[in-house]
Amino acid sequence: MKKSVFLCLVSFLLSLAVLDAPRLYSGQVPVLDKGAKQRIGATAGSGGLQTARAEKSASQGRAAASPAAGDPSLRKISSRSAIVIDAETGETLFAKDADTPRQPASTIKVLTGMIALKSLDELEWVPVSRRASDMPRSKVYLDPNKSYRANDLINAVLLASANDASVALAERIAGSEQDFAEMMTLRASLWGAKNTVCRTATGLTAKGQQSTARDLALIFRHVMQDEQFASRMHRVKTRTSYGKELHNHNKALWRVEGAEGGKTGYTSAARQTYVGQFTREGVGTIVVALMGSESMWSDVENLVDYGFAKQKRVKSAAMGLRGNKVALAE
């Protein structure tokens, strides 16, 4: 009984703290404005974005879009499930088995990081249990005899995909990883990700744990509205308060034009998984999610290019339709 009351209370507080509930299901979700993105770029630059730039120069849409078999780039996609959505409208631009439940691997840490960001003060000390420190890689090798700043652990989760940091945060917030996983499932459900069930804070393979490409895209679409979260995801690297340098696993930041943030994942059961957001000037913003990939970065590049081309066609068609209506009215 106490556990049920606790989880209900946590769910209510998260619904207030993370995002405004009234707009979660409004269909049209505003992406961060240009000013916010410029601030994020400036913050990320201090953490290594300039290095990334140097490397560069060297439903809503519930009815799934067809896989566009005529497009040669899409025939090369190895992912068992994939989706591209318009980040503002939620419209599906491409889908392949997007509602098939699969193991999400570390992409589920998006929920871990966001809940921690809204539950803890950045300077709060977080103890590390022996169980947390014994988590398998990826990890940042936390010492069970020490406590760490929440800010450092959140960055370790979102950039370095640290399993030990994920469990330490989960235990600090909910008392146990199991109870924290229930909070993650509740949060995902509130964002419309109804096919997501979390059993761990890490995404490590667990019986009954699942998500879908569509759910991952919905979740990421919402978390990237939060400027503080988006700023962290855009960093190529950062340094902890105790001097450890953390490197972002999201190679799209320096490989793919318009990358704003993303989360990678891999387990032998899940294979390669990914979710990320991309913006191109004059076109718009899209979210890409894929699961069960054998050639993740190639899949990401092909899906992003296709998504923007499709988005451009959709917007051009809509503008033409509006123009015809105006002409008829006159």
Q: What is the pLDDT of residues 315-329, one digit of tens each?
A: 888 777 666 665 555
- At 195, list the tokens: 């096919």
The more confidently predicted of residues 40 and 62 is 40
pLDDT score for 76? 83
User: Dihedral, CA atoms, 229, 85, 39, 160, nearest 10 degrees?
Assistant: 40
Of 69, 137, 117, 106, whose CA–CA distance to 306 is shortest?
69
Q: DSSP code of 195?
A: T
> Considering the domain boundaries, does residue 4 fall inside one?
no
Per residue in 236-261, pLDDT (tens digit) is 999 999 999 999 999 999 999 999 99
Which residue reads 């703290």 in tokens? 17
> Considering the domain boundaries, does residue 267 fall inside one?
yes
pLDDT score for 17? 45
Q: Is 194 helix (H, G, I), strand (E, B) or coil?
A: coil
Mean pLDDT computed over 44-50: 45
Whether the model pTM is above 0.95? no
Range of the domain at 93: 26-329
Burial level of 262, CB count in 10 A (0-12/13-18/19+)? buried
Half-sphere exposure of 48 (CA within 13 A, CB side): 18
DSSP 220-243: HHHHTTSHHHHHHHT-SEEE-TTS
CA gap 77, 94 in Å, rounded: 12
Q: Is 28 left (phi over 0), alpha (psi -120 to 50) or beta?
A: beta
pLDDT score for 330? 59
11 pLDDT higher than 90: no
Per residue in 210-241, pLDDT (tens digit) is 999 999 999 999 999 999 999 999 999 999 99
pLDDT score for 5? 47
310 pLDDT higher than 80: yes
Q: Are 296 and 270 in contact (CB under 8 A)?
A: no
Q: Are 116 and 157 in contact (CB under 8 A)?
A: yes
Of 228, 288, 230, whose CA–CA distance to 256 is shortest?
288
Q: Is 292 left (phi over 0), alpha (psi -120 to 50) or beta?
A: left
DSSP 52-91: HHHHHH---S-SPPP--TT-HHHHT---SEEEEEETTT--
> Considering the domain boundaries, does residue 5 fall inside one?
no
pLDDT score for 75? 76
Half-sphere exposure of 279 (CA within 13 A, CB side): 17
> Considering the domain boundaries, does residue 50 fall inside one?
yes
CA gap 267, 273 in Å, rounded: 9
Of 210, 215, 187, whose CA–CA distance to 59 is shortest?
215
Q: What is the CATH number of the domain that holds 85?
A: 3.40.710.10
The more confidently predicted of residues 66 and 244 is 244
Mean pLDDT computed over 70-85: 85
63 pLDDT higher than 50: no
> Considering the domain boundaries, does residue 2 fall inside one?
no
Per residue in 15-39, pLDDT (tens digit) is 444 444 334 333 445 566 656 666 6
Q: What's the pLDDT band for 64 if we cut at 50, 70, 90?
A: very low
Stated as kind and residue range, the H or E segment containing 267 is: strand 259-267
Number of domains in the chain: 1
Of 6, 17, 50, 96, whose CA–CA distance to 253 is shortest?
50
The fraction of the chain above a pLDDT of 90, given in percent, is: 71
Q: How many helices (H) and strands (E) does the chain have?
A: 13, 9
The fraction of the chain above a pLDDT of 70, given in percent, is: 75
> Considering the domain boundaries, does residue 1 fall inside one?
no
Give the Cα-Cα-Cα angle 63, 65, 69 (nearest 5 degrees).
145
Neighbours of 155 (CB within 10 A): 26
> Considering the domain boundaries, does residue 45 fall inside one?
yes
- At 301, list the tokens: 């590049």
Per residue in 252-302, pLDDT (tens digit) is 999 999 999 999 999 999 999 999 999 999 899 999 999 999 999 999 999
> Considering the domain boundaries, does residue 201 fall inside one?
yes
Q: Are 56 and 50 in contact (CB under 8 A)?
A: no
CA gap 187, 219 in Å, rounded: 9
